[in-house]
Homo-oligomer: A and B are copies of this chain.
Amino acid sequence: MHNAVDMTPPPVLSDAVTIELNAVLVALTENQPLVLTLEDGTLLPSGPFATEHPTLQIGVRAWVERQTQHPLGYVEQLYTFADRNRPASDGQRRVVSISYLGLTRERLSAGARDPEWRSWYRYFPWEDWRSGPSPLVAETILPQLAAWADAVSDPVLQRERRQRIEVRFGDGTENWNEELILQRYELLYEAGLVPEARQATDRVVPATGTNGQLVPVPGMPMRHDHRRILATGIARLRAKIKYRPVFFELMPPEFTLLQLQRAIEALAGRAMHKQNFRRLIDQQGLVEPTGASTSETRGRPAKLFRFRREVVLERAVAGTKLPLSRPI
């Protein structure tokens, strides 16, 4: 590397580290957003980055495809971090984790136990607002967070905590921003309301119930920080669907507009107005009718659509608009 004379840091040996790749692999089935898990749903798939992989992305694709027997469509880097909660001083090499978001069209080996596809709302039940405000927020989460805010005596800090709660969770019925899933998880972690927070070494102020005990919020935990990585992936996807047509990779080659709508709603965790959704979709020229219709549903048969070739080719830069506003 370069060595500008007065810029060079004191000669320090850049240490050897080991790279671990993590994947948040997403699929959609029957209006459920699924994520691939291992070991009874407690881990995301991960694997080492090795010499045989020319690039990181090829590394991720290689072992995900081997594990799932399925070609991986869209792959996007999520985040890289080093040594969260892992000490480096025991003679072992430090581990740097690089996480990826992957989208795939169909799930496979349904019912398998390892790997197993699970709805991500098992991990984040409060994030599903498709049929209105999740009662978990108003009834369980907000009261406990309020207690956590009250637990600090300094009025300035208390006000800051209340503000942070309000921005992330709204009031339980309004001002819900589905993109803030990661920030919500992190706040719950900080408040000691998720089980993962107990094992952590850093200072955590646990919330206590009326009997002085920790009362974890419903939602399945994962090992290490994999639930946080999952939240990062969901957040990225929820943000991205609003301006890039990522759902290409999740949909079958032909679909009805309602299927498309339900797919996006599954990702966003919110319902959309049907007529407005259709208007936006065909205004944008993302899809074209195949000419056929389906009568798999009960009512009037729906036209089938496919994504337009030109848009698929340029999906990395093509724009989308959805009747999901970017709140505040």
Q: Which residue of B lies closest to A66 (CB)?
A: B9
From known contacts A7-B38, A19-B14, A80-B98, infer whether A88 and B51 are also in contact, taking CB-CB under 8 Å: yes
Q: Which residue of B lies closest to A96 (CB)?
A: B19
Copies per complex of this chain: 2
Q: Number of A interface residues, CB 8 Å?
A: 67
| A288 touches B (CB below 8 Å) | no
| A217 touches B (CB below 8 Å) | no
Q: Which of A27-35, A40-48, A190-198, A204-212 participates in binding chain B?
A: A40-48
| A180 touches B (CB below 8 Å) | yes
Q: Which residue of B lies closest to A84 (CB)?
A: B55
In order of increasing CB-CB distance, the 4 nearest A-B pairs are: A14-B48, A16-B16, A319-B328, A80-B80
Which residues on the B side are within 8 Å of A79 (C-beta)? 77
CB distance from A222 to the nearest CB of B (A): 11
Cα distance A186–B67 in the bound complex, in angstroms: 32
Q: CB distance A15 to B49 under 8 Å?
A: yes
Counting chain B CB atoms within 10 Å of each CB, which of A15, A43, A83, A310 scores highest?
A15
Q: CB distance B38 to A56 under 8 Å?
A: no
Q: Which of A147-155, A162-170, A273-281 participates in binding chain B?
A: A162-170
